[in-house]
Amino acid sequence: MTKVKICGITREAEAHFAVDAGADALGFVFAPSKRKIEVEKAAEICAALPSHLIKIGVFVNESRENLKEIFQRVNLDYVQLHGDESPSFCESLDIPYFKAVSIKEKQDLFGIEKYQSEMVLVDSGKGPYRGGNGTTFNWDYMEGTRLPQQLILAGGLNPANVREAILKVRPYMVDVSSGVETDGKKDILKIGSFISEVKAVK
């Protein structure tokens, strides 16, 4: 069954609702974004979450030192690298990571296998931020693509299109942020609907 990551968590109440609704992972953004969260607030939220939940920090071109410090302070399980981090930089980290890759055209998929992580995230390549812009990319680009990593699909997903996305791409996990928001805030009804749609796909 496809796993669900709810990204851009900023409040404890929405974190707990997402967990209760069946989310497998939560994302906390530490990079420039309207969903950016302070380290201490993220640590407070994570301290109250169940141990089985996957806690992921989202970073863009952050230093090794800051990545490690925030990873430890927040008690994260992974750092998601959404910037220009090279394979060698990633391999120099001594904490679990996965790379996010923006897909504007099919050739952007080439080279992903150079990252030696167990997962990789593919996202749309449009918008003012590195990820989290609420736009999809052409899922047909994934047809016939065989990656060594488990695939996390992001970019413009919402309750209305996530079932089609899963059937077409068959990812290990789907990642949603703006697609479960109303007026820039996480919407518990949309979160519940999104997770229900994902879990209904066989």
Give the phi and the psi of residue 58 in degrees, each rounded to 5.
-105, 125
155 DSSP 8-state letter = S
DSSP E strands, 49-200: 54-59, 78-81, 97-103, 119-124, 150-153, 173-176, 181-182, 185-186
**Token digits for 72?**
């430890």
- Please check whether residue 97 is in contact with residue 62, taking contact to mean a CB–CB distance below 8 angstroms: no
**Active-site positions?**
7, 123
CA–CA gap between residue 45 and residue 47 (Å, rounded): 5
